[in-house]
Amino acid sequence: MDYFIGIDIGTTSTKAVAFSSTGVVLAKQSSGYPILHPQENQSEQNPQEILKAVIQCLTGIAKQLPHDVAVLISFSAAMHSLILMDVNDQPLTNCIIWADNRAGELAVALKQTPQGEKYYHSTGVPIHAMSPLCKMFWFKKNEPLFFSKCSKFIGIKEFVFHRLFGKYIVDTAIASATGLLNSTELQWEADILADLGIEKNHLSTIVPCPHIEYLRTEIQSNTAEQLKAFKETAFVVGSSDGALANLGSGATAAGSMAVTIGTSSAARVVTSQPITDKSMRTFCYHLNGEQYILGGASSNGAIVIQWLKEQLLKDKTAYDEFINLATNVAAGSDKLLLLPYILGERAPLWNPDARGVYFSLDIKHTTAHLVRAAMESVVYNVYSIGKILMEKSPVTTIYANGGFTESPLWVQMLADTFNLPVNVIAVEECSALGAVMVGMQALALPYTMEIAVGKTYLPDQSNHQIYQRQCAKMERLYELVKAEF
């Protein structure tokens, strides 16, 4: 039987999912890796470990389906990563990920200038420490030796592709999140490159999302040997994780919004053209073809719950059991509120200095209150992003994906806060499914996959009123304390 692999290179793990031609999940494989924090405000990963995880996931799928044929492997990947490569194609740095805030002060200063505003409206990428653009300016200023030695500035997907195919290529979706790509022309922006003092040959060759490559057995012989099961398989470059989550969840039509809560969180809608925001609050990245995603990404999703469980409370119970503590507390957490910005914040604040605050604690509050307030705070922050998007495009239905969908309570919070129905897709890994959809387009295969809704959550009006008050309080609280950060 033929099967189709979507592989998603994420922040904490790489996941591969094999689908049948009708969208049935046939096999899954995942491999995790740590985030390194060598200094304050720095978040990095070892690119070799991520490459190893990609290979492990693919070989794992091949072992699970030994008698079947992989028609294609299509890629999804997290955005905003940066690796400096030398002339011998070896990394000068680790993979610096979206959560890295070393360029925070630089980004804040740049955002206030006409130059920063010009960059944003040209590329659709907010001026923030997350963007490769700001990271590159930081290296030019603070690590000029590394900057001068750099032969290529790439992201993690490009690193993997180079090791597999022996060439530096980048899809328009990942490129559009660098802050270096003109969002209308989908080409490297000459003025920005000139300001950085680099040439186009310092960057990867731009290819469309359905671009196809095949393994080259004459290079990276060890890698080729490990992936020998895929020597005839088409490798499709694919798109970005956020863009593909919209595609794979079915949230591409007018009136639909995709909400993802995994390690981080995001809200996104699909448009037919690049759209920027006068106040520079939202991003606009390429998805595929004539589709773009308009949205905002928060640095703080389920990582907040993980921090609360592992770091603050030192809780040893299972994750599901810990989350379920929140069922013992009513909506609004008895007025307990959390500012969830433990990693600084991207949308909607764009403030790398923002930090977490538990507010209104009193003697009646328990561990369960802390848990529920944390879960609610993540949803409130997504809602603050969603409100901006709904100013530009009315939304009638939310399509939810990400690890939080395993908690019915958490999804219900989302429905109640937005006062909109929320569809949870039956396939958990929507980005992987979206990647396969792009792959089938690349091979001109007839599309027969169905995006099945697993469950629909309807809003509770009484809870909605409570959450509206808490959301407004959260916004006021941030304004009162932001100068203290």
User: CA dihedral defined by 325, 329, 332, 336, rounded to 10 degrees?
Assistant: -80
> What pairing do the DSSP bridges indicate for beta strands 256-261 and 397-401?
parallel
Sign of CA dihedral 123, 129, 135, 138: positive
Which residues share a beta bridge with 69? 2
| pLDDT band of 447, cuts 50, 70, 90 | confident
Q: How many angstroms separate the Cα of 416 from the Cα of each of 269, 320, 379? A: 20, 21, 10
Helix (H, G, I), strand (E, B) or coil at 425: strand
CA–centroid distance for 58 within its chain = 21
Q: At residue 220, does pLDDT exceed 60?
A: no
Residue 429: predicted pLDDT: 85
Q: At residue 468, does pLDDT exceed 70?
A: yes
Region 225-239 average pLDDT = 93
| Helices and strands per DSSP (H, E), number in the chain | 16, 23
Cα separation, 358 vs 379, whole angstroms = 16
Residue 256: predicted pLDDT: 96
Cα separation, 60 vs 244, whole angstroms = 23
Region 267-272 average pLDDT = 95
Q: At residue 42, does pLDDT exceed 80?
A: yes
Considering the chain, what percentage of its residues have pLDDT values greater than 70?
99
Residue 216: predicted pLDDT: 73
Check: pTM over 0.85? Answer yes or no.
Answer: yes
Which residues share a beta bridge with 357? 339
Helix (H, G, I), strand (E, B) or coil at 204: coil
| pLDDT band of 124, cuts 50, 70, 90 | very high
Residue 100: predicted pLDDT: 93
Residue 58: predicted pLDDT: 97
pLDDT tens digits, 357-378: 999 999 999 999 999 999 999 9
Most confident of 99-108, 219-228, 247-256, 472-481: 472-481
Region 15-41 average pLDDT = 95
Direct distance between the N- and C-terminal alpha carbons of the chain, in angstroms, rounded to an integer: 57
**CB half-sphere exposure, 198, CA atoms < 13 A:** 25
Residue 448: predicted pLDDT: 78
Residues 6 or more apart from 309 whose CB is under 8 A from it?
315, 319, 322
Region 300-328 average pLDDT = 96
Q: At residue 436, does pLDDT exceed 80?
A: yes
Q: At residue 218, does pLDDT exceed 60?
A: no
Q: What is the mean pLDDT of the chain?
A: 95
Cα separation, 307 vs 302, whole angstroms = 9
| pLDDT band of 427, cuts 50, 70, 90 | confident
